[in-house]
Chains A and B, each alone.
Chain A
Amino acid sequence: MSQPAWSEQFDTDRLPRVASSLPGVISREWAFDGATGAGIRVAVVDSGIDASHPAVGHIEGAVMLEYDPDAPSGVRVTDGSHDDAYGHGTACAAIIRANAPDCDLFSVRVLGSRLTGKGPVFAAGIRWAVTHGMHVVNMSLSTGKQDYFGLFHEMADMAYFRNVMLVCAVNNVPGPTYPSQYAAVFSVAAHRGKDPLHFEYNPNPPVEFGAPGIAIEVPWLNQGTITASGNSFAAPHIAGVVARILSKHPGLTAFEMKTVLAALADNRSAASS
């Protein structure tokens, strides 16, 4: 008897046995204790990372993507170290490092000297991260440009199907922005808390998670720090938490990770600490 396409994989002789990843009760001890982010590769898709900043320590790799109409698909990719154009990527890297001290940080620099070609460059940055073995991708960037809806949707789906966790800052500007708008990503906004491991779950999407990002001291250029606010500082807190949990539970899928975060959120009455 013929069966619909895609159903062969559910034939009993082909279906893999899947071990249960989640315990009956999800606690912070189960999720975090002893976890440091070791072995987890985290890409910071931003303005570059100043690896010499003491709050960052070191990074494992760096790649720069720039608009180049003569390059294939309009994007030139340059491997190797680069500086941080603005300071923001360094801030994000340090926030991730604080929550997942032993994770492997990779700088994927997509913000450069001009805005031209930003959409394709940004999308190429996500593609690079997804196809180069990253486990977590932090993106404190967004675009409201309708033309890019499909492009970023494709990237978000590709990441999800490959179990790469995209953590995106939500924009403060009214109206949808991409990729934070998609269900496949971890979308994050700032709350008023200061504890880097304090995060909240919002059951009314599109913003699903809250993390510190208001008046917090963050590393910046020239080994310095600034006190700053923005959703863009909230996202790396969640990226760090995700990396930390993954290092202890590497088999978790993106949807399981969301379940874990929701269960551990500080606003969950049943959350144990």
Chain B
Amino acid sequence: MSPERDPLTLFAQLAADLGPALIPVGHRELLHNITETARRLFTARACSLALLTESEDELEFIMASGEGADAVRELRIPASQGIAGWVVMSGQAIAVDDVGADPRFAASVAETTGYVPRSILAMPLQTDRRVLGVIEVLDRSERSPAGLGDMELLALFAGQAALVIEGSTMFGELGRVLVESLALAATDADVVMQLQRLSASAPQPRKDLGEIAALFQELGRVGPRERRLAVRVLRDVLDYARDREPE
């Protein structure tokens, strides 16, 4: 049996492709609400969320509110330096009230924020399975005293954000998760081995398909006329694509 026809591989690929399409609507909005609410609660100039990349050597900002937010989103920084890097590596929260006179430190922070903050409160985003990234609150109001009270408060936001992100990630990794579950349930040693091998090389979800599925979800929220228009446009695109298909 060729690998292409292996039903388990097909199943895993299907689950991987389907995963992103099933991510509940509103996850991004929820993450935005978390950073915006944290920013307002701390009367801070900015709040951002950064996640570890798959290679676990960089942090990618996925959400930001407040000053420099546009500049920060999708920006990647090495996890091997800076306050955010230490937090994600050590698993410990830290608040820096005054970044001091260290020019290299200030420059590296400015690079990630678009401006030089005086203070940073940073906390790991983690579940009991793994560390996902970091949440940072920049330049809290002077009225808000630095201390562990702030950390306990931010921990609540970090917990919320971690749950949302973990949920999204699980859908993205649906293929792998399903195959792992099957391997756990299987009793036949050969099947278990095959499933474990498959899980280790689980197919990545095709991002473009996920994006199309997400667009469909959005279409579900607009009016019937818009949906009919979308169907017409999509049919035209398909007709055009079929004509272009090589022999």
Q: Which residues of A contact B (CB under 8 A)?
A: 46-47, 85-88, 111-116, 118, 140-147, 169, 171-175, 177, 189-190, 192, 214-215, 220-222, 224-232
Instruction: Give chain A residues whose Cβ lies under 8 Å from the Cβ of B158.
Output: 173
B178 interfacial contact with A, CB 8 Å: no
Q: Which residues of B contact A (CB under 8 A)?
A: 52, 55-57, 78-83, 85-86, 88-105, 123-124, 126-131, 146-148, 151-152, 155, 158-159
Residue of B nearest to A175 (CB): B128
Residue of B nearest to A177 (CB): B91
Establish whether residues B102 and A226, one from each chain, have CB atoms under 8 Å apart when the complex forms. Answer: yes
Expressed in whole angstroms, the minimum distance between the Cβ of A171 and any Cβ of chain B is: 6
Establish whether residues B128 and A145, one from each chain, have CB atoms under 8 Å apart when the complex forms. Answer: yes
Q: Counting chain A CB atoms within 10 Å of each CB, which of B79, B89, B128 scores highest?
A: B89
Expressed in whole angstroms, the minimum distance between the Cβ of A119 and any Cβ of chain B is: 10
Docked pose: A175 CA to B90 CA in angstroms: 16
Instruction: Give chain B residues whose Cβ lies under 8 Å from the Cβ of A113.
Output: 57, 78-80
Residue of A nearest to B83 (CB): A86
Docked pose: A105 CA to B87 CA in angstroms: 23
Name the one of B80, B91, B95 contacting A142, with C-beta atoms under 8 angstroms.
B91
Expressed in whole angstroms, the minimum distance between the Cβ of B56 and any Cβ of chain A is: 4
Residue of B nearest to A85 (CB): B80
Q: Given A111-B86, A215-B97, A227-B97, is A172 in contact with B105 using a C-beta cutoff of 8 Å?
A: no
Instruction: Give chain B residues whose Cβ lies under 8 Å from the Cβ of A112.
Output: 80, 89
Selected A-B contacts with CB under 8 Å, 15 pairs: A86-B86, A88-B94, A116-B57, A144-B126, A144-B128, A144-B131, A147-B129, A171-B91, A173-B158, A215-B97, A222-B104, A228-B96, A229-B94, A229-B97, A232-B94
